[in-house]
């Protein structure tokens, strides 16, 4: 694959042409899932996306060199996050967040969003500067990330750097300059108006990515992170939920116009009692990942818990959003996992790369649903131990 790439030299970053080659000779795959901001507890919808990405990453790594890019640092600059941190300092003062649960911090986030208050650029500027210049994270956000890292360990998920400082390689102005040079950006700040991503030539509407003061939204942060990365990969996989599908279609078009081969994987959220609600509105009490681990984690050892969770959130729920979360079905999946792990029949004798390649299709990444659903197929040998260890446990 060829295309523009960011390279570092004595003059800093520059935008050039070319693509990096893998030292192993294997194809290079970049997984870039939507990043959950550390302001609320992880819900079934979040866990579904995280488990899909984890299985995709671990399975695809058996066939390609895979980079899993998931940097909370990049998205701390959004108003959604900075506004919450400003709200906490203004209303809670010097609260010690180190002993709070993610649910307690989430309740504060729900209260913040319920006010409808949007702080002005001046109020958020010190926070943005602290993030950009010093890698600062508010104590509430740091506490949530600490708790999430514990969930990742219990569930056997690869931690891509939840608490690491991973800033994007490009600043906002550099990003906008690249987009303008490609005819993909309409910057109206000189006239007191916002900045828009412009893919109207592809029949897509204008989409604001920064306000008149230069405050970026989530899409601008994604572009700061991915524009310098994507040219070095043979395939870029974007994972998002269905509510952001329009934005990610736009992102796919923009990255493709900059030389990337982009695949988009869209997942439906998990309804709770028949309703899909954003975490900012609450309604997750009793259904958070912490709650689920407390409810079923003491009943099963870690291998059963890890495999059973993946069977439920990937193979049973699938990519859609038709099924509400059901505790009894999750327990059934955990029981199925226990049977699979204790099966005394001869496992699939095929080598691991061959098993993984069956579920790749015409993509470089492995399809998590196809691979995981195959574990539940009747009259099939149980999964080989090397598959379970490499991908699920």
Q: Does residue 6 register a pLDDT over 60? A: no
Q: Within 13 Å and on the Cβ side, how many CA atoms surround 218?
A: 14
pLDDT at residue 12, as a whole number: 33
CA atoms 326, 331, 334, 339: torsion sign: negative
Superfamily of domain 24-169+229-392: HUPs (3.40.50.620)
Q: What are the CA-CA distances from residue 212 to residues 150, 216, 247, 254 (Å)?
A: 39, 10, 20, 22
Q: What is the mean pLDDT of residues 323-347?
A: 90
Of the pLDDT bands very low, low, confident and very high (cuts 50, 70, 90), residue 357 is: very high
51: left (phi over 0), alpha (psi -120 to 50) or beta: alpha
Element holding 254 (H helix, E strand): helix 245-257
Global confidence as pTM: 0.91
Residue range 182-209, pLDDT digits in tens: 999 999 999 999 999 999 999 999 999 9
**Taking a C-beta distance cutoff of 8 angstroms, is the pair 243, 250 a contact?**
no
pLDDT at residue 297, as a whole number: 85
Lookup result for tokens 């959220």: 269
Residue range 248-286, pLDDT digits in tens: 999 999 999 999 999 999 999 999 988 888 888 888 889
Q: Which residue has the higher pLDDT, 7 or 86?
A: 86
Q: What is the mean pLDDT of residues 310-322?
A: 96
Residue range 136-184, pLDDT digits in tens: 999 999 999 999 999 999 999 999 999 999 999 999 999 999 999 999 9
| Alpha carbon distance 112, 39 (integer Å) | 10
| Alpha carbon distance 31, 133 (integer Å) | 27
CB atoms within 10 A of CB 262: 21
Show Cβ contacts of residue 359 under 8 Å, excluding neighbours closer than 6 positions.
59, 366, 367, 370, 371, 374
pLDDT at residue 282, as a whole number: 84
Cβ burial 212-234 (10 Å sphere, 16+ → b, else e): eebbbbbbbbbbbbbbbbbbbbb
Q: What are the CA-CA distances from residue 81 to residues 2, 312, 352, 375 (Å)?
A: 36, 31, 42, 39
pLDDT at residue 345, as a whole number: 66
Report how many helices (DSSP H) and strands (DSSP E) the chain contains, helices first: 15, 9
> Kind of pairing, strands 28-33 and 235-241?
parallel
pLDDT at residue 16, as a whole number: 38
Of the pLDDT bands very low, low, confident and very high (cuts 50, 70, 90), residue 17 is: very low
Residue range 371-382, pLDDT digits in tens: 999 999 887 777
CB atoms within 10 A of CB 250: 21
Q: Where are the domains of the chain?
A: 24-169+229-392
pLDDT at residue 21, as a whole number: 54
| Alpha carbon distance 97, 191 (integer Å) | 42
Q: What is the mean pLDDT of the chain?
A: 91
Supply the angle between the helices 302-310 and 139-155 in degrees, to the nearest 10.
100
> Kind of pairing, strands 207-210 and 195-197?
antiparallel
pLDDT at residue 377, as a whole number: 85
pLDDT at residue 283, as a whole number: 85
Dihedral in degrees, nearest 10, Cα atoms 304, 305, 309, 315: 0
């Amino acid at each position: 694959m060829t295309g523009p790439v960011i390279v570092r030299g004595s003059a800093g970053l520059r935008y050039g042409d070319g693509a990096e080659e893998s030292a192993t000779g294997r194809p290079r795959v970049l997984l870039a899932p939507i990043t959950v901001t550390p302001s609320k507890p992880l819900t079934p919808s979040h866990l579904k996306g995280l488990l899909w990405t984890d299985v995709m990453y671990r399975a695809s790594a058996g066939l390609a060199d895979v980079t899993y890019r998931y940097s909370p640092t990049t998205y701390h600059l959004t108003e959604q996050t900075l506004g919450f941190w400003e709200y906490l300092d203004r209303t809670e003062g010097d609260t010690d967040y180190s002993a709070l649960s993610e649910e307690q911090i989430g309740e504060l986030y729900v209260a913040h969003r319920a006010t409808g208050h949007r702080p002005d650029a001046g109020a958020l500027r010190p926070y943005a500067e602290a993030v950009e210049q010093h890698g600062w994270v508010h104590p509430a956000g740091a506490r949530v990330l600490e708790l999430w890292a514990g969930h990742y360990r219990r569930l056997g998920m690869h931690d891509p750097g939840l608490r690491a400082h991973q800033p994007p390689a490009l600043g906002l102005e550099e990003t906008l300059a690249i987009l303008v040079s490609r005819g993909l950006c309409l910057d109206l700040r000189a006239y007191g108006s916002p900045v828009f991503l412009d893919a109207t030539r592809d029949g897509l509407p204008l989409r604001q990515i920064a306000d008149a003061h230069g405050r970026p939204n989530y899409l601008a942060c994604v572009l700061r992170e991915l524009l310098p990365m994507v040219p070095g990969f043979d395939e870029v996989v974007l994972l998002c939920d269905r509510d952001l599908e329009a934005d990610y279609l736009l992102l796919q078009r923009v990255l493709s116009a900059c030389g990337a081969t982009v695949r988009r994987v869209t997942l439906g959220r998990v309804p709770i009692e028949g309703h899909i609600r954003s975490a900012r509105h609450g309604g997750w009490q009793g259904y958070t990942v912490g709650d689920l681990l407390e409810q079923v984690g003491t009943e099963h050892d870690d291998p059963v818990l890890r495999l059973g969770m993946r069977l439920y959130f990937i193979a049973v729920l699938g990519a859609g959003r038709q099924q509400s979360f059901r505790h009894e079905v999750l327990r059934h999946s955990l029981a199925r996992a226990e049977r699979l792990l204790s099966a005394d029949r001869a496992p699939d004798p095929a080598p691991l790369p061959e098993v993984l390649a069956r579920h790749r299709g015409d993509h470089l990444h492995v399809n998590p649903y196809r691979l995981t659903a195959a574990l539940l197929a009747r009259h099939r040998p149980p999964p080989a131990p090397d598959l379970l260890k490499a991908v699920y446990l």
